[in-house]
């Protein structure tokens, strides 16, 4: 089906692209032998199965072509062949470091399409799990970035903190990572007093522990020299390249989906949007640290404001009924049968809804033809778009800076490859 290409001297298209298209930086007075270096897909510093073809001149990178698709599982095709409820477990596997916020994003998108209004308590639980996922994901980001430049202790300390959050998620959802916690119209299980006490315990010590972690890095000469001024991107370039999330805010753009297009109950919560203006790897690290502090603020407010009440909306045509009622009542049994077998019936139309994920703006674009299956479901994944600016950031730097830059962008390949 492809048009036949004219005969090319290169064996593969990716090599041809690297050698003919991505070489507009010319650095004189280095060793004159240009060389192609293949990094990944199996490489500890690429955070998954990212493959980079790097054109180097001596130690200096003059061109870079990322190659994706090693983790491509065809989720958009799977989505077209499964009901909305069936697709929730697949969203866990997108950004596998923050599955709870993916669940939230997908449920919100379907609720917008079907016009379901969820109870206030469910909104607050969803906000709490999103912020918990944000802290957990940023901890991994900081830990792995520090490890990539040689500071292993930070990784261990970050994982120690994250483990406490995973325990809460385990208690709440029954799983540490494959949570599948949200339902269309609410959440699967209620927030318990034990969760509250565990979260309060975590919050009590977290600021102190984060400060300790930062002390290891903020005055560390090796860390500062390897990140400061490395991988700089300007405000205009960042917007043009479509960066979102902490990477965009590190360049000074004040754009956070929680503030720009408030969802859940974020408009009633008091928090700051963190921005730095340097746009380098160090600024991206700082944004993540400060965002975790903002997240703890949000968590504290949520715990205070969380009302009592239902966790699932009462909307029999769209929301799965409680299991007890399915077994004891006729009407609920019929609704359950219809929802499980044919799915909910949203109106014909298309919606786009995005949330602020730890990595950036995660969006779901759903085209519905009125049946229980989405006609088209597009996942706008932040890591995919953020990775696109990688060649721009790497160009002109040393080979050893590549790992620091990838660590500071914080891609997750499960999401970039869908």
Partner 1 sequence: MKELIENKLRNQFPQAILEVSEFRGDLTFLVDKNFIVEVCKFLRDDPELSFNLLVDLCGVDRAKRKDRFEVVYHLISIKNKYRLRLKVRVDEKDCEVESLTSIFPTANWHERETYDMYGIKFKNHPDLRRMYMPEEFEYYPLRKDFPLLGIPGSLQLPKR
Stretch that binds partner 1, among 39-47, 53-61, 65-73, 126-134 (CB under 8 A): 65-73
CA trace torsion 187, 193, 195, 196 (10° rounding): 110
The residue within the footprint of partner 1, chosen from 69, 150, 174, 396 (CB under 8 A), is 69
d(CA 79, CA 87): 6
Residue 32 β-bridge partners: none
* 367 lies in the site for partner 1, by CB under 8 A: yes
* 253 lies in the site for partner 1, by CB under 8 A: yes
* 339 lies in the site for partner 1, by CB under 8 A: no
* 315 lies in the site for partner 1, by CB under 8 A: no
Cβ closest to partner 1, residue 128 vs residue 287: 287
Q: Contact letters (x/-) for partner 1, 399-418, by CB under 8 A? A: ------------------xx
Count CA atoms within 13 Å of residue 279 on its CB side: 19
3-state helix, strand, coil split of the chain in percent (to 5) is: 50, 10, 35
Q: Note whether 158 and 145 are within 8 A (CB).
A: no
Stretch that binds partner 1, among 67-75, 122-130, 134-142, 289-297 (CB under 8 A): 67-75
Token pair recorded at residue 405: 């830059």
The residue within the footprint of partner 1, chosen from 41, 167, 350, 373 (CB under 8 A), is 350
d(CA 315, CA 341): 17
Length of the chain: 418
* 232 lies in the site for partner 1, by CB under 8 A: no
* 380 lies in the site for partner 1, by CB under 8 A: yes
Cβ closest to partner 1, residue 115 vs residue 150: 115
* 14 lies in the site for partner 1, by CB under 8 A: yes
Cβ closest to partner 1, residue 202 vs residue 364: 364
d(CA 356, CA 183): 19
- Name the 3-class secondary structure at 1: coil
Distance in Å from the first CA to the final CA of the chain: 24
CB 329: neighbour CB atoms within 10 A? 14
* 305 lies in the site for partner 1, by CB under 8 A: no
* 93 lies in the site for partner 1, by CB under 8 A: no
Cβ-Cβ contacts under 8 Å for 399 (sequence gap 6 or more): 37, 54, 56, 59, 60, 61
* 21 lies in the site for partner 1, by CB under 8 A: yes
The residue within the footprint of partner 1, chosen from 216, 241, 303, 326 (CB under 8 A), is 241
Cβ closest to partner 1, residue 361 vs residue 410: 361
Separation of CA 98 from chain center = 6
Q: Note whether 119 and 151 are within 8 A (CB).
A: no
* 375 lies in the site for partner 1, by CB under 8 A: yes
* 213 lies in the site for partner 1, by CB under 8 A: no
* 370 lies in the site for partner 1, by CB under 8 A: no
* 77 lies in the site for partner 1, by CB under 8 A: yes
Q: Note whether 238 and 248 are within 8 A (CB).
A: yes
User: Which candidate, 303, 299, 327, 332, places its Cα nearest to that of 315?
Assistant: 332
The residue within the footprint of partner 1, chosen from 166, 345, 388, 399 (CB under 8 A), is 388
Stretch that binds partner 1, among 128-136, 177-185, 247-255, 308-316 (CB under 8 A): 247-255
d(CA 303, CA 199): 9
Q: How far is the CB of 275 from partner 1 (least distance, A)?
A: 12
d(CA 276, CA 139): 19
Counting residues that bind partner 1 (by CB under 8 A) gives 46
Cβ-Cβ contacts under 8 Å for 295 (sequence gap 6 or more): 131, 134, 135, 138
Token pair recorded at residue 287: 């944004």
* 349 lies in the site for partner 1, by CB under 8 A: yes
* 155 lies in the site for partner 1, by CB under 8 A: no
6 phi and psi angles, rounded to 5 deg: -70, 155
* 260 lies in the site for partner 1, by CB under 8 A: yes
The residue within the footprint of partner 1, chosen from 31, 42, 59, 74 (CB under 8 A), is 74
Stretch that binds partner 1, among 160-168, 190-198, 240-248, 305-313 (CB under 8 A): 240-248
* 177 lies in the site for partner 1, by CB under 8 A: no
Which residues of this protein are in contact with partner 1, per CB under 8 A?
1-2, 12-14, 17, 21, 68-69, 72, 74, 76-78, 81, 112-113, 115, 239-242, 244, 253-255, 260-261, 349-352, 354, 361, 363, 365, 367, 375-376, 378, 380, 384-385, 388, 417-418
């Amino acid at each position: 089906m492809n048009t036949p290409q004219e005969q090319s001297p290169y064996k593969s298209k990716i090599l041809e692209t690297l050698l003919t298209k991505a070489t507009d930086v010319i650095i004189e007075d280095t060793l004159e032998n240009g060389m192609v270096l293949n990094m990944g897909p199996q490489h500890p510093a690429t955070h998954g199965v990212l493959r980079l073809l790097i054109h180097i001149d001596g130690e200096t990178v003059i061109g870079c072509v990322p190659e994706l698709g090693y983790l491509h599982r065809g989720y958009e095709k799977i989505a077209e062949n499964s009901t909305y409820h069936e697709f929730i477990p697949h969203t866990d596997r997108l950004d596998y470091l923050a599955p709870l916020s993916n669940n939230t994003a997908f449920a919100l998108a379907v609720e917008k399409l079907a016009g379901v209004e969820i109870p206030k308590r469910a909104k607050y639980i969803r906000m709490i799990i999103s912020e918990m996922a944000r802290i957990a994901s940023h901890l991994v980001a900081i830990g792995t970035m520090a490890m990539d430049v040689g500071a292993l202790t930070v990784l261990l300390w970050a994982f120690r903190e994250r483990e406490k959050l995973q325990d809460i998620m385990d208690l709440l959802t029954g799983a540490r990572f494959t949570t599948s916690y949200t339902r269309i119209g609410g959440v699967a299980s209620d927030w318990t007093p034990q969760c509250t006490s565990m979260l309060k315990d975590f919050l009590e010590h977290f600021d102190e522990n984060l400060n300790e972690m930062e002390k290891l890095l903020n005055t560390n000469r090796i860390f500062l020299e390897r990140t400061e001024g490395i991988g700089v991107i300007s405000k205009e370039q960042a917007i043009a390249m479509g960066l979102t999330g902490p990477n965009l805010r590190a360049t000074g753009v004040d754009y956070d989906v929680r503030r720009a297009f408030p969802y859940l109950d974020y408009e009633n919560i008091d928090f700051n949007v963190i921005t730095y203006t340097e746009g380098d790897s160090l600024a991206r690290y700082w944004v993540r640290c400060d965002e975790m502090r903002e997240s703890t603020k949000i968590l504290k407010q949520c715990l205070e404001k969380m009302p009592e009440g239902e966790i699932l909306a009462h909307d029999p045509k769209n929301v799965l009924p409680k299991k007890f009622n399915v077994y004891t009542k006729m009407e609920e049994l019929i609704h359950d049968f219809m929802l499980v077998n044919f799915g909910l019936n949203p109106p014909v139309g298309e919606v786009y809804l995005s949330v602020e994920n730890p990595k950036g703006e995660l969006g779901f674009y759903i085209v519905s033809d009125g049946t229980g299956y989405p006609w088209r479901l597009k996942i706008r994944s932040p890591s995919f778009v953020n990775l696109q600016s990688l060649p721009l950031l790497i160009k002109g730097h040393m080979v050893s800076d590549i790992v620091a830059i990838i660590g500071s962008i914080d891609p997750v390949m499960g999401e970039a490859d869908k």
